[in-house]
Chains A and B, each alone.
Chain A
Amino acid sequence: MRFLLRHLSLSYARRHLAKTILTLLGVVVGVTTFSSIKTAQDALVVGIGSTVDRVAGKAHLQVTMEGGVPEALQERLRNLPGIRATSPVIEQIVVPEKGELGSLMVIGVDLLGDREMRDYGFEGDDADLDDPLLFLAQPDSALFTREFAKRAGLATGTSLAVKVPSGVRKVTARGLMSPKGFAQAFGGNLMVVDVYAAQELFGRGRRFDRIDVRLQDGVSVAQGIELLQKALGPAYRVETPARRGEQMERLVANFTAGFNVSSAFALSIGIFLIFNAFNVSVNRRRRDIGTLRALGATPRQVQLLFLAEALIIGLLGGALGCLAGTAFSQALLVSMGQSTEMVYGISGSGIVHLTPAIMLQSMLLGLVASLVGAWGPALSASRISPTEAFAKGAFQAKAQRRVGPRIATGAALVACAAALALSSAVQGNALVLCVLLLGGIGLVLLIGPLSRAVLLALGPLLTRLFPSAGPLSSDALLGNPRRSSGTIMAMALSLTFVLGLGGYMGSTRLTIERWMDDILTCDLFVRASANFSRPDFLYPGAVKGEILALPGVRTVESYRAIRPQFRDRQILVGSVEMDTLMQRVRYDFAQGDRDSMREGLINKEMCAVTENFRDRFGLGVGDKVPLNTPGGMVEFPIAAVIRDYSSDQGAVFLDRKVFLRHWQDDRVDIYDVSVKPGTDPGRVRDAIRAKLSGRYPALISTQREFKDEIGKAIDAFYAVMRITVLLALGVAFLGIVTSLLISVAERTREIGILKALGALPGQIARSVVLEALVLALVGLMLALPAGNLFASFMEGPVARAFTGWAMPHHYPWEVLGQLLVALPLVSFLAAGIPARQAAGVKVTEAIEYE
Chain B
Amino acid sequence: MIRILLKPLQFLLAAALLLPVTSAPALAAPDARALLKESENRHRTKTQQYSGDLTVVNKEGKVRKKGWNSYRQGYAGDSKNLIRFTDPPEVKGVGFLSLPRPGSENPDQWLYLPSMKRERRIAPQDRDASFVGTDFNYEDMEEFDHEKYKVSLQGEETLDGQPCWVIAAIPLEKGSRSIYQKLTLYLRKDILYLVREDLVRKGEKEPAKRLILSDIKNVEGHYVAARMEMTDLKKGSHTTVTLKQISFNRPQPASRFTLQNLTREGGD
Contacts and interface: CB of A to CB of B under 8 A. Distances in A.
Nearest to A116: B125
A137 B90 contact: yes
B226 interface: no
B266 to A, nearest CB: 15
Contacts of A132: 130, 132-133
A490 B95 CA distance: 74
Interface in B18-65: 64
A449 to B, nearest CB: 76
Contacts of A136: 94, 111, 113, 132
Given A133-B94, A137-B115, A112 B122 contact: yes
A210 to B, nearest CB: 17
A196 B115 CA distance: 11
Interface in B122-164: 122-126, 128-130, 132-133
A131 B120 contact: no
Contacts of B133: 123, 129, 131-133
A75 B120 CA distance: 11
A680 interface: no
Interface size class of A (residues with CB under 8 A): 20 to 34
Given A112-B120, A123-B133, A196-B118, A133 B125 contact: no
Given A123-B133, A196-B116, A196-B120, A133 B85 contact: yes
A233 interface: no
A85 B123 CA distance: 9
Given A112-B122, A133-B85, A138 B90 contact: yes
Nearest to B94: A137
Interface string A108-152: 001011011000000110000101111011110000000000000
Nearest to B59: A124
Contacts of B118: 196
Contacts of B128: 115
Nearest to B138: A112
Contacts of B113: 136-137, 196
Contacts of B132: 132-133, 136
A200 B126 CA distance: 23
Contacts of A134: 90-91
Interface string B99-123: 0000000000001011110101111
Contacts of A85: 123, 125
A509 interface: no
A129 B123 CA distance: 22
A120 to B, nearest CB: 14
A71 to B, nearest CB: 10
Given A123-B133, A133-B132, A134-B90, A84 B115 contact: no
A36 interface: no
A78 interface: yes
A86 interface: yes
A197 interface: yes
A412 B40 CA distance: 100
B235 interface: yes
A769 B66 CA distance: 82
Contacts of A137: 90-91, 94, 113-115
Nearest to B121: A75
Contact of A113 (B64, B85, B126): B126
Nearest to B92: A137
Contacts of A112: 111, 120, 122, 126, 129
Nearest to B117: A200
A124 B234 CA distance: 11
A74 B123 CA distance: 10
Given A113-B129, A133-B66, A133-B85, A139 B116 contact: yes
Nearest to B128: A115
A133 B115 contact: no
Contacts of A197: 116
A113 B123 contact: yes
B131 to A, nearest CB: 9
Contacts of B130: 123, 132
Interface in A239-269: none
A132 B94 CA distance: 12
A140 to B, nearest CB: 9
A85 B128 CA distance: 12
Interface in A87-103: none
B125 A78 contact: yes
Nearest to B130: A132
Nearest to B124: A78
Given A123-B130, A138-B90, 7 more contacts: A86-B123, A110-B120, A112-B122, A112-B126, A137-B113, A137-B114, A196-B113
25 contacts: A74-B123, A75-B121, A85-B125, A86-B125, A112-B120, A113-B125, A113-B129, A115-B126, A115-B128, A124-B235, A131-B64, A132-B130, A133-B85, A133-B91, A133-B133, A136-B113, A136-B132, A137-B90, A137-B91, A137-B94, A137-B113, A138-B90, A139-B116, A196-B113, A197-B116
Interface of B: 64, 66, 85, 90-91, 94, 111, 113-116, 118, 120-126, 128-130, 132-133, 235
Nearest first, the 4 closest Cβ-Cβ pairs linking A and B are A132-B133, A113-B126, A133-B132, A85-B125
